[in-house]
């Protein structure tokens, strides 16, 4: 796993590094001004915001009639919601490469990033809320953000989820089912912990069986990597599994079609600008929140990447 990350992530990291450089000119003190200046331009593309307190839940996607679902062009034209992708939340170890440190969050860095979001008035949203917004234009809470966690690392359960809850946030946890309950260099959540997260109102999503790149699937791979893990997670949580994260963020049009065929409502890539023109909901963008980022850098990158 770690080796795969080291090999495949440089592509994503070069995109992230560019984003960081682009955003460095914007200091926190000027954020308000920059925001106001951007307002006129963004008026036509603003996220509809609920005037009341933040809605805690979205309508069940199954209850949204097909006639109310917007076409792909409309979905692509809506303002993107910032979506952050986290992996391990732990102190860096001597063996961790420089690249690995870009996606491993030292605990204090993570705490500072989440606190910044809370202090800045952000509200976490679920993938079902994002789906309702993108398909029907449903209102979102003010300053929406989605906080996603990939792979099912144990510290996401032990450390990240309680911290999110302390700030009134909910997370989205994309589980790689081959690793459930595994103990080793990296520990992973067990079934009970996954169910507990779902019971506490967090969203559980699928992240394949063993992290294989969806662009390479053939033969039985769709069954092994998608269908069986989906069933397993539904059995564990007692809830439908409707949202997916691509391993390494890698995807293609065929994968969007295959996931849609299997009932998936949304699928999340990484920082690639391109989204699928036919199935935009199956190629939603996220950025990896880097362990090197200060809260200010994170905030700047959120504003610059999701327009």
Cβ 47 to Zn ion shortest distance, Å: 27
Cβ 298 to Zn ion shortest distance, Å: 20
Selected binder of Zn ion within 15, 123, 145, 151 (CB under 5 A): 151
Q: Which is nearer to Zn ion, 107 or 250 (CB)?
A: 250
Q: Which is nearer to Zn ion, 96 or 150 (CB)?
A: 150
120: nearest Cα among 140, 142, 139 = 142
Point out which span in 39-47, 63-71, 150-158, 287-295 binds Zn ion (CB under 5 A): 150-158
Cβ 215 to Zn ion shortest distance, Å: 15
Q: Which is nearer to Zn ion, 96 or 151 (CB)?
A: 151
Vertex 196 angle, CA 260 and 181, to 5°: 80
Task: Please tell me whether residue 39 adopts helix, strand or coil conformation.
Answer: helix
Q: Which is nearer to Zn ion, 151 or 276 (CB)?
A: 151
Question: Can residue 153 be called a binding residue for Zn ion (CB under 5 A)?
Answer: no
- Residues 6 or more apart whose Cβ sits within 8 Å of residue 200: 161, 165
Give, to the nearest 10 degrees, the angle between helix 228-237 and helix 191-199.
60
Cβ 146 to Zn ion shortest distance, Å: 16
Per this entry, what is the length of the chain? 307
For Zn ion (CB under 5 A), the number of binding residues is: 2
Selected binder of Zn ion within 96, 150, 153, 276 (CB under 5 A): 150
8 Å CB contact between 251 and 268? no
Point out which span in 145-153, 215-223, 228-236, 262-270 binds Zn ion (CB under 5 A): 145-153
Q: Which is nearer to Zn ion, 87 or 242 (CB)?
A: 87
Cβ 296 to Zn ion shortest distance, Å: 27
Cβ 244 to Zn ion shortest distance, Å: 11
Please give the full DSSP string across 258-290, using - where no structure is assigned: HHHHTT--EEE--S-S---SS-GGGGB--EEPP
The Cα–Cα gap between 124 and 102 comes to 23
- CA distances (Å), origin 249, targets 5, 124, 238, 272, 275: 11, 21, 27, 8, 12
Interacting residues with Zn ion (CB under 5 A): 150-151
């Amino acid at each position: 796993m770690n080796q795969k990350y080291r090999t495949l992530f440089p592509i994503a990291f070069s995109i992230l590094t560019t984003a960081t450089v682009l955003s460095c000119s914007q200091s926190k003190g000027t954020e308000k001004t920059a925001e106001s200046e951007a307002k006129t331009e963004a008026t036509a593309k603003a996220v509809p915001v609920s005037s009341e307190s933040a809605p805690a839940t979205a309508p069940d996607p199954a209850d949204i009639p097909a006639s109310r679902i917007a076409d792909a062009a409309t979905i692509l034209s809506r303002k993107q919601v910032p979506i952050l992708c986290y992996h391990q939340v732990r102190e860096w170890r001597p063996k961790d490469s420089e690249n690995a440190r870009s996606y491993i969050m030292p605990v204090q860095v993570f705490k500072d990033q989440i606190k910044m979001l809370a202090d800045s008035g952000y509200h976490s949203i679920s993938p079902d809320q994002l789906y309702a917004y993108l398909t029907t234009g449903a209102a979102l809470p003010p300053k929406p953000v989605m906080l996603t966690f990939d792979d099912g690392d144990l510290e996401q359960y032990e450390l990240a989820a309680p911290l999110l809850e302390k700030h009134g946030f909910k997370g989205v946890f994309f589980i790689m089912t081959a690793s459930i309950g595994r103990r080793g260099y990296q520990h992973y959540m067990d079934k009970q912990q996954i169910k507990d997260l779902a019971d506490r109102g967090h969203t559980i999503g699928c992240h394949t069986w063993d992290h294989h790149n969806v662009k390479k699937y053939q033969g039985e791979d769709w069954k092994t990597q998608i269908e069986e893990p989906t069933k397993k997670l539904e059995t564990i949580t007692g809830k439908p599994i409707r949202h997916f994260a691509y391993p390494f963020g890698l995807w293609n049009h065929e994968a969007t079609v295959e996931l849609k065929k299997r009932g998936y409502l949304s699928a999340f890539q990484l920082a690639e600008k391109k989204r699928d023109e036919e199935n935009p909901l199956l190629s939603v963008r996220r950025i990896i929140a880097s362990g090197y980022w200060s809260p200010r850098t994170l905030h700047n990158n959120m504003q610059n990447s999701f327009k």
